[in-house]
Structure 1
């Protein structure tokens, strides 16, 4: 379910933020002069409280580093400045600055536009001044780490934007492809309506004269509207089709052609098989087309990302729902296969678009043995209601 996926993603992000804060806190706690330390290394209660406060200030805000990255960076810089002024160890403070700098670079849009150039200029000026070693270490090293964090965060967000743009482009392209294929389905059905309405009108007009003239007029209207709809669909297809793309000439794919997909996958080295559960019967053309394309994409992913693996396609006919699953095992050579979850995302976008168009859904699962499973559910109404 979508809300389950969102909840899992939120939990994963929160867990990562908590882990970062915990690591930074543990690092800072190592600097605390606990009373049980060897003589000369322990501190008074006031000193312990001060060190604890510094540790909390520079680490705990990382829990909210996605929502308040600037606040976390400000507190980390303040804690580092205080450590430097008091002559304390600064390693944990530098780590906090680098971590919060990364958070600002990846989650703070204002900082990516303004803070990084200002910081770079100030850092260059400080280093160029060739002041004392202590000043260079106090200013230059934090600046270098902060800049590194900002750059790393900025690179991460750039990659994320690029991935999102690629997914959106793939989604738009898949929608256009689906629309073109639906044009073929609707054009076929409207053409059949046109022919049948025309035949009935001719028979009615050439009968014994007792037919209702209004009925003949209505049949003529149906025929005319169907012809106009076919023309308009052709115009729509011209808008959706890319420049220079040839018109489709082959019949609309259906479930009866899935065995051919199995044979093609076997020729490519995949040990594929098919199983049918329930009484097979015709489904609406759009549902059959969606199911065919989903199986085609799933088997293509197996060939690309799990060469030599086994694959099983199961078609399940239920009274008002059609279900299918494509389950593949681990690649024959595990070193040659690439992670299906990451590299096949664009194909999964198309599967979900097709299922959603018919009120269905697609679920995917990474199997413990290294395989992958795709499960699809497509409602189609009462059996035998195929268009």
Structure 2
């Protein structure tokens, strides 16, 4: 069973208030009031000690404190000696509860203040009324400001947590795309080559050895990319070899290696490059590389025998890569003409990459030849790519 315990800070504050009230009560005789007796000390405790539970039940504590304060004042004791408990109670209600409840508690404190002045014939009522208006109103205002500040802090904290969750989700999506692109492509090549090696192992040993060599090279490249990804995901102080730069991300310069690897898998692939070759931003090159990689992976899966053309065109302000699978005889293609929304991690990854770098991608039938084409257009001008997106990811 849960025990109703006061917060430690509130308990210490209540004890401190009680001590201060007792010390101030020693001045009662000097103020022309009766000295504290057993009843006076008991009322001091009843006014101040409930403050230990002020954050748990602020309105109930405020009402109890003010009721005890009325008894303390009516008994003729010096009101000021026991005023800190009611003040703190009003502030707490204003800082934790809606305006209606806090306003009622504020009015209650002001009324009791005026009541204490009426009981003392030596009091100046204009001064008492002014104090009854100013002090409760000031406490109420401070409490309302604290409540609004706490509400704003909670909202900011919630927004930060939501932003953190969104960033984690985006990072997971990025990692998933990278893993899919790396693993799917290399495993497709390995699967095709292993099948070829098994088929010709006895009848054509040289071809089998070439397939095994391709498998070895592909697996080594896959391991290299996986290690690079892990280095990027680890914290800087956890990386192996502090100060040693990571291996470069794949770029357009490695398209020829990819095409050769796919060609070794039995797909007649041709690479065509046009325009003035030039280095591009690393993020743009990686985006184009991954799209070509995914398209060729689909060629290996869905149309391994169809002639395929990979074309890279450098424009003035953009770069275009396309993977065209045009087989008039069969009409088979690497990408289906219609892709159901939300399916296919590879297709989603292509579109997300293109969107990230301000590019456009089209996937569908290629002309009237019966094949299919994946075409990516990426801007290369500085204004087209945001600096924060142009980092090696």
TM-score tier, shorter chain, comes to: 0.3 to 0.5
Normalised by the length of structure 1, the TM-score is 0.45
